[in-house]
Amino acid sequence: MPRRRLAVLAAIGVLVAGLVVIPRLSTPTTATATSPATASPATTSPATTDARVQVDQLGYAVGATKTAYAAGPELGEVSFRVVDGDGGVALTGVAGADRGSWNARYGQVRALDLSALDTPGRYRVELLDAGTVTARSAWFAVAAPEALYAPALTRAVGFFALQRDGADQVADGRVPSHLLDSTAALYDIPEYADDGETLVSLSPTGGVVDVEGGWFDAGDYLKFTGTTAYATLALLLAERDGLEVAGLADEAQHGLDWLGKAWDPTTGTLVVQVGLGNGNDAVLSDHDVWRLPEDDDVAGASVGPDDPSYLISHRPAFATPAGEPVPPALAGRTAAAFAVGAQLADARGDRAGARALLAQGAGLLAAADTSPSGPVLAAVPVEFYPEDSWTDDLELAAVELARAGRALGDDRADAWSVQSEQWAARTMDAEVGPLGVADVSALAHAELAASTTDAELRGRLLAALRAQLEGAAATADTDPFGAGVSTVEFDSAPFALGLAATALLYERAGGDDRFAAFAADQLAWVLGANAWGSSFVIGSGTDYPRCPEHQVANLTGREATGAVVNGPNAAELLEELNTFDTMVPCDGLRADGTSYADGDGRGARYLDAVGAWQTDEPAIDFTASSVLAFALAAGE
């Protein structure tokens, strides 16, 4: 589902602080486990062909399906072996049938079944031709699920710390930023033209609001209630699962605190967004300057209202009109976060805090617009985050409120349960997409299936989840590298994580384990078992994005560890990249110095370059999907 983050703008010819703004499931293989103690040492000869072996560079869980891929021009009857860190052979096998051509270099792709490899350790795959090693994979781990995924979850939490805005900073090197957000001017939802590219009108309401804090949405410095609510939900649900992850509870609370500022129950106003994303010839936006966030505070002391860059530092807060119905997707997703927060507060023994959060969620759900017309608002302009669904958000809010209400003895719990079932019925009749910020139907269905006592309803919810997964599994069967997502549309990596999470949610909610292998394959695809041989999670694996479209990372030289980037996208979308005079040049290569371009194929391209927002920009909603997937996988 295409969507825009840093929009490609026409040149506006304005100088800002001396800078010119420039526009901008697998065929099985045969494998045999071998005792490392008696294995012959691995050869040290280098790879001599154009073949590559792509693996999950984070690693594979003990007991799970483990699939790697050999890709090359003509592989023939290829065999392989898996060697450990001491050179001992732990597994041997023969590649599976040809899965099809990916590009001119990879005329054949063959699956390698490593599932028999269940002894924890560090390994790599060697491709063999008549006993000669022709290609080697990156190193990977085999470990128990929690040992494998809990560190990845810790890194994801660390990315949220890096994304913090406001005075409360915890990440090394970050300093307070956008303190003027504590008295942000309130604006009506503005008008846009040219499919959201050009600002038409801005209308301040005369009010102010405290929206200091929260998280930056992505590589830019905008703050969205929709993505913040989804991310907060993911962190809260991981916390509810009882995982011991450093910083998890603190980041979840950071998100909850900001959502509490965005929703004002006394006026019935919800802040949708803080900061202007797209401007016009007279008004510069957040996306028009490449800088550190604290620079905005410095500029704010000297820039007057008539300056084109005024709204970069004196950031507007766009809010729904007081007392009018709130856009349903935002209302539902945010109310669900409050409700799960109430559940956790109650579990900690904080009954007063739990009731306060429950009241916030209940009031917001009651304020939701249940008969919206036209595009459903989730961002300004709406093209930034198109919403194709909203009944799923209301279903999720109602089921979480019911769960919290029952724990707190609230007599509205039964009514919320009825609402959740009504919204679920409507959601099951609608077309849905992969789990992510724009569609939480899988999460809503799984939560309702796990909490309902109605066996018939549970069966229908599980059937709806199965249908989602069966469609994605059919897509994976046609992809040489087993991707259940489109590689020529936005959000391929987070959508694959969403599919993995959906499969695990389905099994946990009472379904069977028929999609366990599919879940493992989607995680593997995101983490390196793909045409490019790149993990799309920064800091996970040997080859991962080192040049993301992220201002703090680019300008400070620090790594945005734990962040998930978009992943491959349609090649034609990468014809024009973002460029700023202040951008530190960085064009990423694999660890061995080769280009990712040899993985481009079937109309898809992946570019690890700082201006490649289409493939290389990290985001909190992307990373939130990894939180859901890694937490569920760790629990397996």
- Can you point out the beta strands (E) in 189-333? 191-193, 198-201, 204-209, 223-224, 263-264, 269-274, 317-319
- The answer to whether 386 and 379 are in contact (CB under 8 A) is no
| Per-residue pLDDT reduced to its tens digit, 47-90 | 446 899 999 999 999 999 999 999 999 888 899 999 999 999 99
Nearest-10 crossing angle of helices 413-428, 455-478? 40
| φ/ψ (deg, to 5) at 330 | -65, -45
- The answer to whether 632 and 504 are in contact (CB under 8 A) is yes
pTM over 0.85: yes
Residues 6+ apart with CB under 8 A from 564: 156, 493, 494, 497, 526, 536, 537, 538, 618, 619, 622, 623, 625, 626
Predicted local distance difference test score (pLDDT) of residue 301 = 87
Helix (H, G, I), strand (E, B) or coil at 182: helix
- As a whole number of angstroms, the distance between CA 259 and CA 214 comes to 8
| Per-residue pLDDT reduced to its tens digit, 239-271 | 999 988 999 999 999 999 999 999 999 999 999
| φ/ψ (deg, to 5) at 225 | -65, -40
| φ/ψ (deg, to 5) at 494 | -65, -30
- As a whole number of angstroms, the distance between CA 480 and CA 329 comes to 36
| Per-residue pLDDT reduced to its tens digit, 11-38 | 222 323 322 222 223 333 445 554 333 3
Q: Which of 276, 260, 251, 256 is nearest to 198 (CA)?
A: 276
Predicted local distance difference test score (pLDDT) of residue 33 = 52
Domains of the chain are 34-143 (2.60.40.10), 170-462 (1.50.10.10)
| Per-residue pLDDT reduced to its tens digit, 395-407 | 999 999 999 999 9
